[in-house]
Structure 1
Amino acid sequence: MTAPAPSRLSRLLAMVPYFLAHPGTSADEAAADLGVTPKEVMADLNQLWMCGLPGYTPGDLIDLDFSEESIQVTFSAGIDRPLRLTPTEASVLLVALRALIDMRGVLDPGAARRAIAKVERAVGSARDAGDPSGPMEAGESSHAGESAENVDVSASVAAVRDAVRGSHAVWIRYYSASRDAVSERIVDPVRIVAVDGNSYLEGWCRQSAGIRLFRLDRIDEARVLDEPAAVPDEPDPEATLALFNADPQLPTALITIDPSVAWVMDYYLIEPLDDVAATATDTPIRARMTYGSEDWLTRFVLGFGGRIRLMNAPGAAAEVTRRAAAALAAYDGPTG
């Protein structure tokens, strides 16, 4: 398998030490060493010329003397020196790494914990024993109070991450909250994305014949297939992250939402029909909701105790009324 080309950021970070070690090298020679074209080298040099330390005045920016025949770094802005974090910077980095560990599937938690241990050691708060770059013992945590649930990564999430990394198709058994059902699918993975505190597998679902997002914590089982991923078209990030675009095959219902629970529109397949910002605080919001089954819709509406009401879907509305009446009747029985 051909190794993936380095990202532009990786190239930019490597270029200053490279040209410091090879002063006067040409764009052609640098391109051969860095695995890019001479045109890309010159474009990267023009980008580097505008990079530097905070303040970003001419005295803080990386300075270069370059042409296609000769390239030389005249001021590195410190990029050739090892990074030294201040305590505040280290704290921010540690908080971010621990948050990523809690978001299952976004990254390898073992690698994140090793990075945390290294940062803690660098700022003088790490454990004295052991090499932080080595593997941790079973049950060991990088900081006090981290639960085993956060440290653990299920086999299904690990399989999904392997499929994404290796660009292989993956078979999954998936629980769909909108349909309230479990289905088996074959997905050609694109990437893992984090949205609103949850991690999702984005990929081409062969069953639905379209790009879909699958919450990692709803994947009950996953198995990497011995076939390459085959996504028909390059997905549009804006389109796929217009998260939860409704499946046109799913039914919809008209509902009214009490403003006190308007937050529900951020978590379900709900499209407001009114201008929410312009709606009075005591006026119900009209919306259209996509759902998978009437039984799920019934339970959903009942869970909000009258603050969400059905304007159509007569079958589900009748069942909501029946179950609500039965629940109220239970209070009419003899008391203890």
Structure 2
Amino acid sequence: MSTTPAPQARDQVARLLTLVPYLHARGTVHVDQAARELGTTPTQLVKDLKVLLMCGLPGGYPDDLIDVDLDALEEGGDGVIRVSNADYLARPLRLTPTEASAVIVALRALRNSAGPDTREVLDRTLAKLEAAAAHGGVGRIDPGQGAADADVALLARRLQEAVERGRQVRLRYYVPSRDEVTVRVVDPHAVTRGQGFAYLDADCHSAGAPRLFRLDRIQDAEVLDTAVSSTPRPGRELPAGVIDEQESVVATLRLAPEARWVVDYYPVLATRPVDGADPDGALEVDLRVADARWLTRLVLRLAPYAEVVAPQEFTDSSVAAARATLGLYS
């Protein structure tokens, strides 16, 4: 005895998403005709209609749910599908700014893993949503805490299009280790993810080498008409070490004995006694720093038992911060 496996939930959802606008456009239709035009069987269509009974507006009360005349579909009925309490389906959908942003972000996330055919459909949908947002159809998109995510998603799509077209991009990029904004032209190769962030994997013309750029640190990206000059390549795997090394600078601190606890509390790359001092004396330590402001705060906490030896810009910034702090007491 053979059994037919139950349809997958996602297949049924796809059928329902097709069924609702189909019924709305036709009003009433015989179940056999609907099954033929929808590419399913009358039996399966009746099962889907029974699920449709549990769909509707938020709340879940009887007046909120779509009503289907199931008696007409039972044996002895006329076999005509009649759907009521679904007048809201005739109203154009208007999204709030938060809803529109959520849909755009979700579609962009889906686009990154979609195949060519699906991506084409997603692009058309995204274009309509963005056009509506630009012309006030859904209002100005201002989703509050999700705004940064929406901006990154929009940027990811633009950069991915530049990758697919083989066009160079001019970036204004914030470098936290130097606390400055740099302008550079890159050959984009892939938009990828690592350690919970989205990155542009590109060849940087200024550095003359491959670089990773965190999308949330890109202040502006202009897609140029100039074709990329490097050979296209797939995006790289992003283990922690690759990102950490690129986005950080090795700083050297001189620690008095009172600040030696830093070695036990923070991951350091190397330690050296100062001028042949005894093992419990002053140390020089190398540690990786991704944000100059973090190092400045650390040195101020350790004062007067620590100083920055290198690089020079970190030394200057920490000295300036110390002087400014002392000036508050005068």
TM-score, with length taken from structure 2 = 0.44
> Larger Rg: 1 or 2?
2
